[in-house]
Structure 1
Amino acid sequence: MRRIAHALAVLLIATAPAAGQSGGAPGEKSAEEGLSLLEEGARIILRSMIGEVEPALKDLQDEMGRALAEMEPALRDLAAMIGDMRNYHAPEMLPNGDIIIRRKSPAERALPEPDGEIEI
């Protein structure tokens, strides 16, 4: 938060001289300068925010990598047990909150899917 406050202060300081130097009639040039100053201020704020968030994202990436490395054997076993997902119906939630996933019968597996093609 402190960095954002610093970035806003820099933006205000940068715009102050520009406002005082516009001695002529308001024209297209001063509007362009104002837009470029706003653009630069936005860049400063975004750089500041990225600088604050970057260490947390790196930590999250490291933690996720470790978690996935620990879960990998169990996920491989589960994938081997399940096999092809097309062998199952969509999950259903029962009135008591249980979720069941029914296996398709061999006859159901032989039928083409609604958006699939039929071989002739």
Structure 2
Amino acid sequence: MRYLLVAILTLHIAALPLAAQDEDPPSMMEQGMRQFFEGLLLEMEPAFDSMRGFMEEMGPALTDLMGQIDDWSVYETPEILENGDIIIRRKPESELPEENLPQIDL
């Protein structure tokens, strides 16, 4: 998400001189800024590609997970174990507000 924000901001700033083009050539400062942001975009491109690959691979699984869990507030913060496993524990019922307690139909 942070990379996307940086890219949008970079493109916006890089486009400013284009939108305000007069008959004067760009100043040295404008040329330097344009080169700086073009370089930044080139440096960030591999991160964008890896993020895109991650979302293409994990997107369907995350969507399925979101559909299986009704209320995220009944779970603790995820915990990463030394072996890399991620555990998401359910909060004890004493900590849950009454509206989040499971209803048992008899």
Normalised by the size of structure 2, how large is the TM-score?
0.43
Larger Rg: 1
Answer 1 or 2: which has greater helix percent: 1
